[in-house]
Structure 1
């Protein structure tokens, strides 16, 4: 339909956000159809993915960009709070189902400018000592990763005291409280609005790697760690799903511990983005399948549209820390909020003033 896209966009502007969203989905469907993915698959995703309403409709919105908080949870449970099958846990090499709790060990703010310039994925180290917002008992101090679990536990305790005993209701309400607290905490720490959230647990990482047929990575040096099961040579290599999960979990034996693990999560995401941007049908299908099983999206976020409309370049950065400290017997990262704010401002500046990253899959420790 020559010229039809322009006419549709003009009508969308006149009639507001409802038609803008409809146009977005139609464009995604057309692009996916070119790649061999049917419209029925897109419709299935729209109907099948679990949605969160933790971000209030009247929450502050980003201007000239979309900010998405990607949260990777440590839990070994499924979306309903049920244990994973034993054979799956064995293949994941991640221990028993009662390990991990509900810490948000991976926190990445994906900043996507609306002008098509480079997107930025900013990793927030999990052990940063911050004020935890949105926790039912009031603001607390703790590691930034803990907002989710603390809020979840307190909300479930509140519901039980009022007579609620349905495990599924408690799990759903507790997780929504956790998401709300984690979003509010990261938003306050970075001093930026968060428009959407994506939540994925360890099994989601594993399933993505499985459906992709492996993950390409590059290591600066050989490394081995019995805790995570990591055993990798130096240089570029392809990892199978269990190896890929060990790759993103490893922190022992790395010079910078958790900070190096943060860069590995970025490398995993960089590989996924490279597959999506190359119109890789397998990668698109993998994302759709995993989204329906292991991922929670905020209401209104179109995952397929996001994948198809990412800018051609995504840059990865880690927010600075000042050093380590011990608080209440726990190791934490000390942060200078002025440096954090300066880093956020620099990383979301126009692409012209940002250094160009090296091409290809990044090599990490």
Structure 2
């Protein structure tokens, strides 16, 4: 469905798609939504050998996928990508969340982020069985809805960003997508062979069919960085698919358009409130493959409860995400657009505790903002960010850095000025790294065929 948007055509097919695509009510109403006109979409790829009704995929498909039988895989979200589509049509950004990141999972405690879905699904099915529910289709449907809710909540709380929509695809989705596109070209820096995934590729550029594509995006054994290299392969696959749609006239062929829609009907689940037709019309940032992929940073590796996990610095992750989502797009000239100067931020201490205003300003300066004034004010119950004319977006960024506090307009503030009022609920933020002034690590662009390990 996102690739249809990337092509900028096929709207009438989306109309047909909306009548048949599987939908879900799992996006919690309490989940924060974007307020600036942009769209954040959480893409979830399930490592499940089941179809949408919980039935095993056909043996012929499982054999082609080199993925074992229907008892393997469970319901882990082995692929998690936050796709940010700006309202103004500038570059879209995809941020991959490594599946083994060790995070807090609401209701289940700390553990791998990929497991929130399966844990919630199992718990819900157990609860329903205890109440006498025996219909397997009902158990599967309600279990998956619980899994989706848990995964969305876990990612949202980890990244501290709004989530407007989500899309879920099963393991066979890559397989069917590559087939619908008549193969996808990839590039490997060196030969790759892995008996677990079935990968057996020479170095260089090559076109993969459905089974090969799945082996390409699933391989992690034999790669220097394991799952992190696999994440880059997933990004490279999506970038190459977008490149093919743009450059090779895929949308000029009715049969290919129809096959893409069939893939969506077969493998995709989206949230019930998503107006797909409007999204395709408005998602100009995806046209021409104008996308950039990044991967969240990790702080190291460790063993927790007998499992290998990625350690993460939550503050670093949130700064990285904000940096990636607000990085200025390239202009049509020779270089990137110059970023607007960071606004000055005043801080008023309404906690009754000495020194918090100065500490908070120092923390915000470490994040790239200019130093304003610090002082005291009347005791406030909660922390809030106030903004003058033209500064709402910056106020929302500061609010996210302060753990999602409310924002309010203030006619008394000068144009572009920000003011933070500290309340009794406030804790001083740790100065975050990397500084917003540092460049982002090189990402994968969807404007060509990237070569990966």
Normalised-by-shorter TM-score class? 0.7 to 0.9
SS at match of 2:158: helix
Q: Greater shift after overlay, 96-105 or 304-313? A: 304-313
Contact 1:288 1:304 in 2 (8 A): no
- Taking structure 1 as reference, are residues 38 and 177 closer, same or farther at Cα in structure 2, changes over 3 Å only? closer
1:292 corresponds to which of 254, 258, 265: 265
| Structure 2 residue 73 is matched with structure 1 residue 73 | no
Contact 1:321 1:334 in 2 (8 A): yes
Q: Which 10-residue stretch deviates more, 193-202 or 301-310?
A: 301-310
- Go from structure 1 to structure 2 and tell me whether the alpha carbon gap of 1:150 and 1:88 turns closer, same or farther (over 3 Å shift): same
3-state SS, counterpart of residue 121 of structure 1: strand
| CA distance in 1 between partners of 2:65 and 2:306 (Å) | 30
1:68 touches 1:195 (CA, 8 Å); kept in 2? yes
Contact kept? 1:267, 1:361, Cα under 8 Å? yes
Which has the larger displacement, 207-216 or 97-106?
Answer: 207-216
Q: Aligned with 1:165: secondary structure?
A: coil
Structure 2 unaligned spans of 5+: 330-336, 340-438
Residue 142 (str. 1) matches residue 111 (str. 2): yes
Q: 1:89 aligns with which of 62, 70, 87?
A: 62
SS at 1:348's partner residue?
Answer: helix
Output the CA distance in 1 between the equivalents of 2:164 and 2:311: 27
| Corresponding residue number in structure 2 for 1:7 | none
Q: Identify the residue that residue 50 of structure 1 maps to in structure 2.
A: 22
Change (3 A) 1:271 1:230: same
Q: TM-score, normalised by structure 2?
A: 0.69
* CA RMSD after TM alignment: 2.1
8 A Cα contact 1:55 1:180, kept in partner: yes
- TM-score, length-scaled by structure 1: 0.85
Given the superposition, is the C-alpha separation of residues 306 and 248 from structure 1 closer, same or farther in structure 2, using an over 3 Å criterion?
farther
Residue aligning to 1:59:
31
Contact 1:276 1:284 in 2 (8 A): no
Give the alignment of 1:161-172 within 5 angstroms. Answer: 161-172=130-141
Aligned residue for 2:147? 178
Equivalent residue for 2:243?
Answer: 274
Residue 339 in 1 paired to residue 316 in 2? yes
- How do 1:12-161 and structure 2 match up within 5 A? 32=9, 39=12, 41-64=13-36, 65-133=38-106, 138-161=107-130
**Cα distance in 2 for residues equivalent to 1:328 and 1:42:** 45
Offset, 1:305: 5.2
TM-aligned CA deviation for residue 302 of structure 1: 4.1
Shift of 1:362: 1.1
Matched residue of 1:67: which SS?
strand
2:181–2:250 CA contact under 8 A, matched in 1: no
- In structure 1, list runs of 5 or more residues that go unmatched: 1-27
Write the mapping of 1:231-246 to structure 2, written as runs, cut at 5 A.
Answer: 231-246=200-215
Aligned to 1:326: 303
The residue matched to 1:360 in structure 2 has which SS? Answer: coil
Deviation at 1:277, TM superposition (A): 4.0
Match of 1:206 among 168, 175, 180: 175
Q: Within 2, Cα distance between the matches of 1:306 and 1:245?
A: 28
Alignment of 1:181-192 (within 5 A): 181-192=150-161
After superposing the two structures, state which structure 1 stretch, 166-175 or 341-350, moved more.
Answer: 341-350
What is aligned with 2:452? 364
Relative to structure 1, the CA distance from residue 243 to residue 317 in structure 2 (aligned partners, 3 Å threshold; closer, same or farther) is same
Indicate the structure (1 or 2) with the bigger Cα radius of gyration: 2
Cα gap change, 1:219 to 1:307, in 2 (>3 Å):
farther
Please state how far the C-alpha of 1:121 moved relative to its aligned partner.
0.3
- Alpha-carbon distance change, 307 to 226 in structure 1, aligned in 2, over 3 angstroms: farther
Report the secondary structure of 1:325's partner residue.
Answer: strand
- Judging changes above 3 Å, is the alpha-carbon distance between structure 1 residues 339 and 262 closer, same or farther for their aligned structure 2 residues? same
* CA positional deviation for 1:51: 0.3
* 2:31–2:153 CA contact under 8 A, matched in 1: no
> In the alignment, what sits opposite 2:163?
194
Q: Distance in 2 between matches of 1:306 and 1:250?
A: 33
